[in-house]
Structure 1
Amino acid sequence: MSITSNLKEFFSLGALDTRLDPTTAQNKRQQATKKKATPSKWGTIEFKFYYIVFIIVVPLMFKAAREASNETNPNYPRFERLLSKGWIFGRKVDNSDQQYRFFRDNLFLLCLLGVIHLPLRRVLTPVLSIRKRTHFDLVFGVIFLIGAHGMNVIKLSAHLAINYAIGKYIKQRKVAIWTTWIYGVSTLFLNDWYGMQKSGISFLDSGFKGIIERWDVFYNFTLLRMISYNLDYIEREQTLSIPSAKGGSLIDLNDRERLTAPLPLEDYNVFNYIAYVLYTPLFIAGPVLTFNDYVYQSNYQQAVSVKDKKRIFIYFLRFVFCLLVMEFILHFMYVVAVSKTKAWDGDTPFQISMLGLFNLNIIWLKLLIPWRLFRLWSLLDGIDPPENMIRCMDNNFSALAFWRAWHRSFNRWVIRYIYVPMGGGGSYRILNSLLVFSFVAIWHDIELRLLMWGWLIVLFLIPELSASMVFRKYDQEWWYRYLCGLGAVVNIWMMMIANLVGFCLGKDGTLQLIQEIFKSVSGVSFFIASSISLFVASQVMFELRQAERREGIDVRC
């Protein structure tokens, strides 16, 4: 194989997740996708012009970010205190993001835990004659939880017990569903207000708190699994009450069929529940796997086989590549420290916008890297959860498509348990989206700025949905692609503003950026030039997706 072919395979969607591999798709679907694809435009004069724009603009973006966040910037003394000793060419590293610092500082311990967990299963399973994988997961998960959270396990156990009782013993289906949701969302508020406060019970307050005292930090992901168990059990119990739906094969189910796998009702027992919630490779941060999918892969038919060794190795290399990219950015662009200290006085609109953009890229990477490590661990253990990040953050032009590619397993969870039960994309699509993003914002953190972020996302969905409905009938016209490019520019600006408010610059920094853009001729010139660049980028993104369709891949994002 040529270098180009190897690189293409390395960065392909199929290398991330077999769910995205065209060779695993149904042939009819592949053929239909290929027929919709347009002829390649990579060699046209139009795209040769786009290549020139990329060669000029992308280096300027890196240059602007470095100038706004490096030793040469006059604001450097304001954020220098947040920098730490680095390991690349003697440079300091921006390790000031608390969330990523926890992962980065404990990476060795996490890898060591994986090295202990994987061989231990292979050794103990035949020795102890363990018939079901979930039995091992239960025991290892409990030991891991005690080591991680110490006496705080009692608090988490109380939540697990109450949730289990709600799903198992409330017989009225609708009451059980509503009680599950009310209790689940309430615990987010309760843990935010009281999670780390002293209980007044001496052995709880002064006892061993484990390696990770902040048990409440990981509770949000635990809650998703708790809700998944209850709703899967309630759905299965209802299905069994319908005579025509009692049966069903448990052989060769694909990833969609596993969501509603016809498991025997006895599989929804307390031991499988705890094993699922505490499954160690995915406990800390996911990716999110539904209860049905976990039990099916654990005890009936694993989705990962010996044939997948090459794919898992490529996935490992992709993880290492992303880890090194993150280290490079943290050593050469101190954008997180700048945003924390709001040290952007005197910077140009271009520089401020690049501070925001590279901050968003770091947020993308700081989530992608742990998720890929935990998913790699799970794949090596024989369980295949969905890939969370299937697109580079910068390779997005649609708000709708963006959320299909960002935290994909959570997106699938939300669609299954909230969006579809509420009616999906019917008459109340905007209202359902508002409900979804309100939950997503509260789930992330109990902060007004995140609620504002969620509501802004929904507000910005309206123009895209409206334009799609009006202009879809013209999709065969020559000018349709360029019109979509203009819409993409507007979408990208709105997505950046929403995410800058929610996760990077905050309301004050984003307002300052907007004011800097429109209060001067240079700012307006920057806005025009950047919009043209975004239009060029959108055309390249369109063609990348057409290239995927020519191979039979359409992931709708």
Structure 2
Amino acid sequence: MPGRHCPPRRREEGRKETTDLKVIMGASSIFRNVYDLDTLDTRFTVSSNTPYKTVIEARNDATAASKERAAKWNSRLSSSSPSPSQSKSRWNTPEFYLYYVVFILAVPYMFWSAYDASKPAHPNYRNYERYLSPGWIPGRRIDVTDSQYRTFRNNIPYLAALVVFHPLFRRLYNAVVYRIQSGGQASRPTLEEADQRLNQRASFDFGFAMIYLVALHGVSIIKILAILYLNYQVATALPRKSIPIATWAFNIGTLFANELGKGYKFRDIASLLWGFLSGGLIDDSNSSLVHWGAWLDGYSGLMGRWEILFNITVLRLISFNLDYYWSLDRGSASPVEKKQLDPSSLSETDRISTPAQSKDFSFRNYVAYAIYAPLYLTGPIITFNDYISQLRYKPASLETSRTIRYAIRFAFALLSMEIILHYDYVQAIAKVSPRWAEYTAAQLCLLSYFNLHLIWLKLLLPWRFFRLWSLVDGVDPPENIIRCVSNNWSTLAFWRSWHRSFYRWSLRYIYLPLGGSSFSSLRDAARSVLTYVLVFTFVALWHDIQLNLLIWGWLVVFFMLPEMAAGSLFPKRSWERHPTSYRMLCSAGAVANIFMMMMANLVGFAFGVDGLRSILAGIFQHFTGYVFLAMACTVLFVGVQVMFEIRESEMRRGVNLKC
């Protein structure tokens, strides 16, 4: 009967609805995959003690025998991973429905306040208008007053070309010089094949490093290679017991010398030399030696001030020296053979801790590592042992699909930065030393808040771009940033997740050699605080030799103390019968922590001590400032509850990032 049949039009509408639903579900799945922790870095979802090759085997095995092997690996993975959290999800509870309402109201207001303070109608607009540039969003100008981001933004087309042509150039080099055709290698190459791969990649990295340095820094390559050679001699020519002290002395001295010498201009060197030769009796203005030095300074490449970004190279120089120093203890037997490990499938922990072979500590490999093009300018930082291991055996974590998703995620972050800079002019506002009293308390707070987000984004983008280049080239360095700056409430955890590769480097080469930390006794607590002070003093000086950053480093340590004290005074085990009360107590402490972290970072990277003092004075000069502060505390309290639940959700999946 006709009534039992669906009319053609209705069938078409049903198919269309099904298709639309599939498109929506597909887009949602892609979005989830792009923002999955595994896309960001496999280190976040797999234990650092687990070879990633076993994860792939467990994922891909299909036969009955393989399933048994996969189950064995899965049990091993679960035993090496943190236990899933037993807590129930709170996302669909009345408590969190209330939090969603707060978010719906607060987040648009935050964006509106920053936008309202940046409108042309604001009295301060005419003071900073000259710093704004034409934007690509119709009717809006863009604030690119920050020199770091402006430099990165202007060079994106050239950097994108490097990401494409550098790996292609490597393949051409392999095909011509080593007769290696692209198409991969055996799943488990022999030791001879692995050594050949190391030799081929290190030779290319060394040669490309020379070309790269000349293009970036011109004749200043002489100065850079001189520093590298002297550091290499510190490691290989001095007595073994002198290497650590000499390494730290040389490299910290290099940081200060680069700052004071302003890159060692050839003209200044020639002037000093002329003064020595002439005894200071003859003016150097007509000296041919000084003119020749000035002429050389004119060939300084694309980035004449090479010393500004050399700090990241200093970390690699220290890594090489100390990895070499520790390798002298290994004896004649190979650690890989002792532990009966598969050298082609090492975990990240084994790649870092297993010393490279004696022959690997050559000057060629050292320069190839220190000036590895994708990571030379900004990092992320990778240790020498890890670099050599990845040159010898391609990491199993390098998968094309993941790299594509990582690239999409980078593009979204770049788009976010561009949109914010079109509507929030906080950087231009701060540049003209404004009268903060002209802004409301809400505007002052939210301009400061967005300034921290812009600092976060301007660092995240280069770090992720250069890591993307490295992934495309076949080296997997650690991800530098795990959390959004708005998803941090703990000072200790913030340090672990911000510039993560530097944090891990600091652990290996400073924190652990100094004895780590322990608060079991007053004496141990005092020693631990001193350890933190030494670590953050180096971190501050490494960033830049400025008082603001030194104060920032000490403030970070100072603000860690209340959190450590609270953890001792209110241990979680004592509140097991009152989990909700404990969660609320932790949230209140977290709000205070967030304010302290904001102040420390605003001092170190934004306004300085005087600027922060002016902003605080502007906030508290009227009663409305206190009212807004109470509202801000409420919103932050809600935000912290969401942060807690995000981490609980990760724990339920067996992921514990400790940050």
Q: TM-score range by the shorter chain?
A: over 0.9
1:544 & 1:360 partners in 2: Cα distance? 22
Matched, 1:182 2:249: yes
Which residue of structure 1 aligns with residue 167 of structure 2? Answer: 118
From 185, 188, 195, give the equivalent of 2:262. 195
From 331, 337, 348, give the equivalent of 1:240. 331
The alignment's TM-score, normalised by the length of structure 2, stands at 0.81
Give the length in aligned residue pairs: 554
User: Percent of aligned pairs with the same residue?
Assistant: 43
Runs of at least 4 residues off by over 6 Å: 241-246
Cα offset, 1:474, TM superposition: 2.6
From 154, 171, 178, give the equivalent of 1:129. 178
Cα deviation per residue 1:139-168 (whole Å; 9 max; x = unaligned)?
011111111111111111111011000011
Q: Bigger shift: 161-170 or 110-119?
A: 110-119
Cα offset, 1:394, TM superposition: 0.6
1:109 & 1:35 partners in 2: Cα distance? 45
1:304 & 1:539 partners in 2: Cα distance? 33
The 1:245/1:138 distance shift into structure 2, 3 A limit, reads closer
Conserved in 2, the CA contact under 8 Å of 1:304 and 1:382?
A: no
Matches within 5 A, 1:39-58: 39-58=88-107
> Secondary structure of the residue that 1:93 maps to in structure 2?
strand
The 1:244/1:513 distance shift into structure 2, 3 A limit, reads closer
Matches within 5 A, 1:90-109: 90-109=139-158
Which residue of structure 2 aligns with residue 272 of structure 1? Answer: 365
The 1:342/1:241 distance shift into structure 2, 3 A limit, reads farther
The letter for the 2-side match of 1:288 is: I
Cα offset, 1:78, TM superposition: 1.0
Conserved in 2, the CA contact under 8 Å of 1:252 and 1:301?
A: no
Cα offset, 1:34, TM superposition: 4.2
From 225, 238, 241, give the equivalent of 1:170. 238
The 1:244/1:158 distance shift into structure 2, 3 A limit, reads closer
> Secondary structure of the residue that 1:211 maps to in structure 2?
coil
1:27 & 1:14 partners in 2: Cα distance? 19
2:236 & 2:541 partners in 1: Cα distance? 26
The alignment's TM-score, normalised by the length of structure 1, stands at 0.96
Cα offset, 1:21, TM superposition: 2.3
**Structure label with greater radius of gyration:** 2
1:10 & 1:389 partners in 2: Cα distance? 15
The letter for the 1-side match of 2:329 is: Q
The 1:430/1:246 distance shift into structure 2, 3 A limit, reads farther
Which residue of structure 1 aligns with residue 305 of structure 2? Answer: 214
Matched, 1:549 2:549: no
Conserved in 2, the CA contact under 8 Å of 1:64 and 1:350?
A: yes
Cα offset, 1:500, TM superposition: 1.0
Matched, 1:311 2:415: no
Which residue of structure 1 aligns with residue 450 of structure 2? Answer: 358
2:139 & 2:177 partners in 1: Cα distance? 51
The 1:345/1:214 distance shift into structure 2, 3 A limit, reads same
2:167 & 2:485 partners in 1: Cα distance? 32
Q: Bigger shift: 128-137 or 324-333?
A: 128-137
From 331, 346, 352, give the equivalent of 2:438. 346
Cα offset, 1:430, TM superposition: 1.3
Matches within 5 A, 1:54-453: 54-129=103-178, 131=196, 132=199, 133-173=201-241, 175-196=242-263, 197=265, 198-200=268-270, 202=290, 203-207=292-296, 208-240=299-331, 247=338, 249=341, 250-305=343-398, 308-343=399-434, 344-426=436-518, 427=524, 428-453=527-552
The letter for the 1-side match of 2:534 is: L
Cα offset, 1:224, TM superposition: 0.7
Cα deviation per residue 1:6-39 (whole Å; 9 max; x = unaligned)?
3322212111001112595874664673443411
2:249 & 2:619 partners in 1: Cα distance? 44
Which residue of structure 1 aligns with residue 566 of structure 2? Answer: 467
2:218 & 2:544 partners in 1: Cα distance? 24
> Secondary structure of the residue that 1:371 maps to in structure 2?
helix
When the two chains are superposed, the root-mean-square deviation of aligned CA atoms in Å is 1.9
Conserved in 2, the CA contact under 8 Å of 1:397 and 1:488?
A: yes
Conserved in 1, the CA contact under 8 Å of 2:441 and 2:620?
A: no
Conserved in 1, the CA contact under 8 Å of 2:394 and 2:475?
A: no
The letter for the 2-side match of 1:195 is: K
Cα deviation per residue 1:350-376 (whole Å; 9 max; x = unaligned)?
111111111111111111111111111
Cα offset, 1:388, TM superposition: 0.5
Structure 1 portions without partners, runs of 5+: none
The letter for the 2-side match of 1:44 is: T
Conserved in 2, the CA contact under 8 Å of 1:388 and 1:407?
A: yes
The letter for the 1-side match of 2:607 is: L
1:194 & 1:58 partners in 2: Cα distance? 47
